[in-house]
């Protein structure tokens, strides 16, 4: 049997502690599966004295991740610190320079520095694994970089943020407002004290940027993503969606179009009877559509210490098995030096169906005007729903919902502008894109 693989863990929060504990608890089966042992020989974390439920006395403690990275004590640098720069980036750069393989769960860091790190690791023949960075325990990175060789993907989309999905699920199942669900999610530890990153879509965008590169062979372009969060989704939208046969999900979507590649994160209407429509609470899911295989959908836990640790340990085990340590596949599926520049398709050219919810003054001719503005902009309507008065009074504002056939974002924006100019609307209209989904 080969020498054990020596790993150094940087960051001993929930995930890091889970990784250390599971490596200890499952040492025997891991050794049987990998043909060699895996030992934690180095650790770097802020608080050395904290009880993490695992005996780390056999590991050497380092003051900084970078010191551990360059020491002779480890073969693999496992980065579980977080943050797109700082000690996480310093540690990974130092590790690659020093010839250590790297495993990371850090999507923000990869979204910003992924191509640079991929070039370095491939240049040096080192492995850079990051299964846990996207969709937690779901093996989507392995699937995209190893199982899609025969495929040219056309679209990748998914529910990539458990906090946002939990809130949308609870709003529907318990008839609660966005604010109440967010407060509950914070109480349960599903949402941070400052939840902006999760509910406004940036976290989803980081993960999407990585999936886009894997799908389309382009450089990671996390700054070029159209982003809308879920904070303005109301219970009224959720009810209307249901009535029309849809459910609202925060999706990240990357799609090849005639004018480039769309990357967009926004609330989306998906069919009620679709599989992705059943993905509830903190569960994540990723769908991949490609020419050869057709459609795949993978779902599972998107976060949590153990589920994330499962992905991290899978990455470590792949390194242990591939001794003397060859990258089975390039970091982003093809050589980092051959990744093409990202060609952005503008959001205004996005084609699809739209749900438009408007509260209008109850005046003669308002509906005719709305319909005329849609027609002027070549928008054909699939359905029109009028929801009676808002509060039961005669002459009180009425809710009108339009569902369009396929049109473009620019047509919809122009039509909405025209409607706004007429002054018939009581408040800002709600526009939610409809996504075909299996």
Q: How many CB atoms lie within 10 A of CB 198?
A: 26
CB of 147 to its own copies, least distance (A): 4
Phi, then psi, of 283 in degrees rounded to 5 = -70, 145
192 is in an annotated binding site: yes
- Give 223 or 291: the residue with its C-beta nearer to its own copies: 291
- Phi then psi for 154, rounded to 5 degrees? -110, -30
For residue 391, the minimal CB distance to its own copies (Å) is 33
Element (DSSP H or E) covering residue 359: strand 351-360
Do the annotations mark residue 435 as ligand-binding? no
Cis before 324? omega within 30: yes
Please say which residue, 69 or 80, places its beta carbon nearer to its own copies: 80
Strands 5-10 and 38-44: parallel
Question: In the complex, what is the shortest distance from the CB of residue 182 to its own copies, in angstroms, rounded to a whole number?
Answer: 24
Q: Does 219 carry a binding-site annotation?
A: no
Measured in degrees and rounded to the nearest 5, phi and psi for residue 209 equal -60, -35
Smaller CB separation from its own copies, 279 or 366:
279
Strand ordering across the sheet containing 38-44: 60-61, 38-44, 5-10, 76-79, 101-104, 128-129
Distance CA 320, CA 325 (A): 8
- Residue 107 annotated as binding? yes
Which has the closest alpha carbon to 158: 111, 206, 196? Answer: 206
Q: How far is the CB of 121 from its own copies (least distance, A)?
A: 15
Residue 384 pairs in a beta bridge with: 402
* Residue 13 vs 139, nearer CB to its own copies: 139
Known catalytic residue at 207 = yes
Q: How far is the CB of 119 from its own copies (least distance, A)?
A: 15
Establish whether 17 is an annotated binding residue: yes
- 26 annotated as belonging to a binding site for a ligand: no
| Residues in contact with 313: Cβ distance below 8 Å, sequence separation at least 6, in sequence order | 19, 22, 23, 30
Bridge partner residues of 245 (DSSP): none
- Region label for 260, one of left (φ > 0), alpha (ψ between -120 and 50) or beta (otherwise): left
Shortest reach from residue 302's CB to its own copies, in Å: 10
Ligand-binding annotation for 13, yes or no, is: yes
Measured CA to CA, the distance from residue 195 to residue 186 in angstroms comes to 8
Q: Site residues (CB under 8 A) for its own copies?
A: 22, 26, 29-30, 32-35, 131, 137-139, 142-143, 146-152, 273-275, 277-279, 290-301, 304, 306-307, 309-311, 313-314, 316-318, 321-322, 326, 328-330, 333-335, 338
Was 352 annotated as part of a binding site? no
List the catalytic residue out of 50, 60, 207, 398.
Answer: 207
Quote the CA–CA distance of 394 and 67 in Å, as a whole number: 73
Q: How far is residue 215's CA from residue 209's CA, in Å, rounded to a whole number?
A: 10
* Dihedral (CA of 334, 336, 340, 342) sign: positive
Nearer to its own copies, 140 or 400 (CB): 140
- Residue closer to its own copies by CB (options 281, 344) is 281
**Which residues are annotated as part of the binding site for NADP(+)?**
10-17
**Which residues are annotated as part of the binding site for L-homoserine?**
192
**Which residues are annotated as part of the binding site for NADPH?**
107
Active site residues: 207
**Which residues are annotated as part of the binding site?**
10-17, 107, 192
């Amino acid at each position: 049997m080969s020498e054990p693989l020596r790993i150094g863990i940087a960051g001993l929060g929930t995930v890091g502690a889970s990784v250390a504990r599971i490596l200890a608890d499952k040492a025997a089966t891991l050794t049987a599966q990998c043909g060699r042992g895996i030992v934690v020989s180095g650790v770097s974390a802020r608080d050395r004295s904290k009880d993490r439920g695992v005996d780390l006395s056999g590991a050497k403690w380092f003051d900084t991740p970078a010191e551990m990275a360059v020491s002779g004590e480890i073969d693999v640098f496992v980065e579980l610190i977080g943050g797109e720069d700082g000690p996480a980036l310093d540690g990974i750069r130092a590790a690659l320079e020093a010839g250590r393989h790297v495993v990371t769960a850090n999507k923000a860091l990869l979204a910003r520095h992924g191509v640079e790190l991929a070039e370095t690791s491939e240049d040096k023949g080192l492995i850079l694994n990051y299964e846990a960075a996207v969709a937690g325990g779901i093996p989507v990175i392995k699937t995209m970089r190893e199982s899609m060789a025969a495929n040219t993907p056309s679209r990748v989309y998914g529910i990539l943020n458990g906090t946002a999905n939990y809130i949308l699920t609870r709003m529907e199942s318990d008839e609660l407002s966005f604010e109440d669900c967010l407060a509950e999610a914070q109480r349960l530890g599903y949402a941070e004290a400052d939840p902006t990153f999760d509910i406004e879509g940036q976290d989803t965008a980081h993960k999407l940027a990585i999936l886009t590169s894997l799908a389309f062979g382009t450089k990671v372009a996390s700054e070029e993503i159209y982003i809308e969060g879920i904070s303005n989704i109301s219970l009224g939208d959720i009810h209307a969606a249901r009535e029309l046969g849809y459910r609202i999900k925060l999706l990240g979507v990357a799609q090849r179009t005639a004018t480039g590649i769309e990357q967009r994160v926004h609330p989306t209407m998906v069919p009620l009877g679709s599989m992705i429509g059943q993905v509830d609470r903190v569960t994540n899911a990723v769908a991949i559509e490609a020419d050869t295989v057709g459609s795949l959908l993978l779902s599972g836990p998107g976060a949590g210490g153990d589920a994330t640790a499962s992905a991290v340990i899978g990455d470590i085990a792949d390194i242990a098995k591939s001794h003397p340590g060859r990258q089975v596949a390039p970091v982003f599926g093809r050589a980092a030096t051959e990744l093409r520049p990202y060609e952005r398709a503008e959001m205004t050219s996005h084609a699809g169906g739209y749900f438009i919810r408007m509260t209008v003054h109850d005046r003669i001719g308002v509906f005719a005007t709305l319909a005329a503005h849609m027609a002027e902009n070549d928008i054909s309507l699939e359905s029109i729903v009028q929801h009676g008065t808002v509060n039961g009074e005669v002459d009180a504002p009425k809710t009108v919902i339009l569902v369009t056939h396929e049109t473009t974002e620019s047509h919809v924006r122009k039509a909405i502008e025209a409607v706004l100019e007429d002054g018939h609307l009581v408040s800002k209209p709600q526009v939610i894109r409809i996504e075909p989904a299996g």
